[in-house]
Structure 1
């Protein structure tokens, strides 16, 4: 399967229609079966639609988007589903904000090649700022089918928590899809401590889409990447594609060769050396969730 990670850099648009046409043109040229958009894609699309002010601080725009998100998400899901259906691909459409039973979640939707919603994931690990902005954490990490692959979704800060990837890998994840938005200057080792480390620990693939752009006063400019086990990559780096030294690259793409991944797992069976049953103690002693934070 050929996959792509998009940064949303360089898509010139005067309005939402122009933006979606630019996105479609980019995806069509990549000729991929699965594509991942970065975190905050829903917010950026809402701004193109005129629902948010063009100026203001990041926190102010985030709060304005949260207030509009219930109304906007209906159109957002329609637009992204139509795009996936038109191109016949799986589309992880970045992230949006979602209200549910009085709580606010940072959520990613996966659309299938018929335009249907075939997966939804809420961010499970929040930063202090995200909690201050009113977000609550998700409590589940399921897998979703995408063609011949089982995929898990790792949103934003979830990439910094090794248990996220391990839980998905123990369920049989083939690919981790990561919509991210790291601040400018956080490339190199700081970024590699996220999804690259998750992949090497769990011997799966990852499609890492990092936002390149500005929201308010904040600039986001980490590097998009397609990642695999080091043993499954030609130069043993763990990267099948990387926008190295060029965070403004609109997209990177690569073909995922499952035979190479299987060989890497046979040569060094990381998960076979674990004792998953021992994790049961975590469930026996888990306290009930009180605040959803």
Structure 2
């Protein structure tokens, strides 16, 4: 059974979660009208990314937050699964998180960013993720990564070895890192034989510019859909049968020799 995925590349609603939820409602409706099963949105979509530590803490949500309840209700109302980023309250700190919510409004998976990018991330987020969870959905196994995480080959490889067929990557990619959008994402898809949905911001927030260039890539490294620099809703249909053929033709994961790689984690 195929799966249709949509990515919303957007300027978002900086530091305004209520406006972001309204934008999500309209975008989810539009994506579902185009027969999308899953809508992926950028890193920290609910608040914007370039918040600074004080706003990040003020706007952070717990998993029981009424705003997250509204987001879950949007998934139910439109019958579409959602993946989106938000600052999450975790004990006494804040994490850069993303949630996967199914079309019934249930939270299937919550992921916390593991690799923090420079002082920008470290100033806002005291809590890091500690693993690479996956979840079964609609006949596929899904995993999440956030922005800088996917630039480490170990992230995608760990998810692939855990059984991931599709990796969802909310991101906030900025200049001068075009190489990530143009080359790293297709490479990660190819070397792990997974689908990747890479959802970026566009425009700017409080002086920080974003590249756009969101994409959906196939397990053979082909770019199935890609946005330019501005706002866009891109879509692609994922075919698990094609993925199975790719994996049978070139059994990259089976041909690994992990006993020779132990020094990589020493």
TM-score range, shorter chain: 0.7 to 0.9
Could you tell me which of 58, 63, 69 is aligned with 2:54?
63
Query: Against the structure 1 CA distance between its residues 198 and 35, is the aligned structure 2 distance closer, same or farther, given a 3 Å change threshold?
Result: same
The 2-side partners of 1:155 and 1:115 are apart by 21
| 3-state secondary structure, aligned to 2:103 | coil
In the other structure, the counterpart of 1:267 is 249
Q: CA deviation at 1:250?
A: 1.7
SS in 2 for 1:41: coil
Aligned-pair RMSD on alpha carbons? 2.7
**Cα deviation, residue 164, structure 1:** 0.3
In the alignment, does 2:231 pair up with 1:228? Answer: no
Structure (1 or 2) with the larger CA radius of gyration: 1
1:170 maps to which of 141, 150, 161: 161
Q: Any stretches of 5+ residues in structure 2 without a counterpart? A: none
Q: Within 1, Cα distance between the matches of 2:183 and 2:238?
A: 22
Q: How big is the shift at 1:87? A: 1.9
- More displaced stretch, 67-76 vs 107-116: 67-76
SS state at 2:72 partner = helix
Which of 30, 39, 57 matches 2:43? Answer: 39
Aligned residues: 259
Compare 77-86 and 146-155 and name the one that shifted more: 77-86
Shift, 1:263, TM fit: 1.2
2:187 pairs with one of 197, 202, 210: 197
- Structure 1: stretches of 5+ with no match in the other structure: 45-56, 231-236, 286-293
TM-score of the superposition, structure 1-length normalised? 0.79
TM-score between both structures, scaled by the size of structure 2: 0.87
Q: Which residue of 1 aligns with 2:230?
A: 248
Report if the CA contact (8 A) 2:83-2:100 is conserved. yes
What is the aligned partner in structure 2 of residue 26 from structure 1? Answer: 30
- Aligned partners of 1:8, 1:249: CA distance in 2, in Å? 5
